[in-house]
Amino acid sequence: MVYGLGDNRYGCLGLGHNVSIHSPQLIPELCHQNIQTFITGFDFVLAMDTVNHIYSLGHNIWGQLGRDVTPEGVYLKPERISNFDDKDIQQISCGSHHSLALTSSGRLEVIGSGGFGTVLRVKHKFDGQVFAVKRIEINDFDEKEVQNLMNVRSEYVVRYYHSWLEPRFGYIQMELCSQSLRNILEVKHKVFERQIGDPLDCVEYFISCEIFRQILECVQYLHGLDPQMIHRDLKPDNILIVHNVRNGRFVKLCDFGLATVHDKRIHYRTTRKHTADIGDMRYMAPEIGQGEKYGLKSDIYSLGLIGGEIFGVKVILIEPNKL
C-alpha cells in the first residue's frame, strides 16, 4: 500500500488537488503496483515499480510527467508512462521542471523541459567524457548567455566549453554537475532525520553554513567583476553541486541567460534602467517586479530567500498562480 501526507501545495501527493494532508491518506492508483522507489522533482514525482515501469504525478505545465501538458493549477493523479514500458529504464532523475530516464542500452530519454531549454547528459563518443548540453529552441537562443559564460570563466561558475547552432536548436556544452541545491534541500532534513520546521543540529548547521558561504562567494565574484554583473535568476535550481571537488569548492552558479552587466552610473538613471519583471517571481526582488531602478541588491534579496531555505527558516515565496 502507498500513503501520502504533508505539504501538498504542488499536488505532489498524487491526490488530484493541492491541499496539505495532515494524516496518512491512501494513494489508490499506486497501491498493488509494487512501487520500489520515488524520485521527486520541484513540483512533481516519478515512481518506479519492480519491473521498471514509471508512474508520474503532480504538476505538469512543462510536460515533465511524460503526458500531455496541463494548465497551471491542474494536479494529476498517478498514471503509468506507457511510452517507457518497452524501454527497459534503469535509472530516473528529476530536475526542476524536467526528468531524465536512462535505459539499459545507455540511451537518455528527456521528459519535459525548463522555461529556457532542456539540459541533456551526454558522453563524448571517443574519449568517454561526460558533459551537460543545454538545448534551446532556435527562436529562444540568445548569444548573450554564451557571451556571459565566456566572460565569467572561474571556479565560481559552471565551466563553458562550446556552443553551436542547428536548424531547430542552439546548443551550449558545459561541465556536468551531479546535483543542484534544489535536490539537496529536498532531502537534507531527511538525511539528518529532522522534521521540517524543527531546528538544525550542530552538524547540519555547520554543513548549511559551508553551503551558504560558498554561494555568497560565487555571487561576490559576479558583483566584483569590472564591469559588475547581476545574475537576476538566483534560485536553488541554478546553484549546482559539483561531483569532483577541487580546492574544497563544490558550489557553482549556472544559467546566465538573464545575467546582465551593471554600471550604476548608467543603470540608476530612469531612462537607462534595467529590464523589469525578469527572473523567477518566487525569488524576484520587489523593485524588479514593480519596474523600479535596481542593481546588485536585487541578487542579495534572492540570496536572503535561498539562505532561509538552507537554514530551515520559514520563507514565504510568492507563487505566480496565486497572484
What gap in Å lies between CA 241 and CA 211, rounded to an integer? 9
Q: Which of 99-113, 162-176, 301-315 has the lowest mean pLDDT?
A: 99-113
Whether the pLDDT of residue 149 is over 50: the answer is: yes
Q: Looking at residue 322, what DSSP letter applies?
A: G
Q: Which residues are annotated binding-site positions?
A: 134
pLDDT tens, 247-281?
A: 788 999 998 988 988 876 665 555 555 565 567 88
- Catalytic pick from 198, 226, 233, 263? 233
Q: Which residues are annotated binding-site positions for ATP?
A: 134
Question: Which one is predicted more confidently, 169 or 251?
Answer: 251
Positions of CATH 1.10.510.10 in the chain:
179-322
Report the chain's mean pLDDT, rounded to a whole number. Answer: 84
Which residues are 55's β-sheet partners? Answer: 47, 80
pTM of the entire predicted model:
0.66
Q: Residue 205's pLDDT band (boundaries 50, 70, 90)?
A: very high
Give the 3-state secondary structure percentages of the chain, helix then strand then coil, rounded to 5.
25, 30, 45
Q: Pick from 216, 266, 230, 301: which is nearest to 290 by CA? A: 301
Whether the pLDDT of residue 111 is over 70: the answer is: no
Is residue 277 annotated as a catalytic residue, yes or no? Answer: no
Amino acid of residue 266: I
**What mean pLDDT is predicted for residues 191-206?**
92
> 1.10.150.80, 1.10.10.10, 1.10.510.10, 3.40.50.150: which CATH number matches 179-322?
1.10.510.10
Q: Residue 107's pLDDT band (boundaries 50, 70, 90)?
A: low
Question: Which one is predicted more confidently, 275 or 84?
Answer: 84
What gap in Å lies between CA 18 and CA 6, rounded to an integer? 11
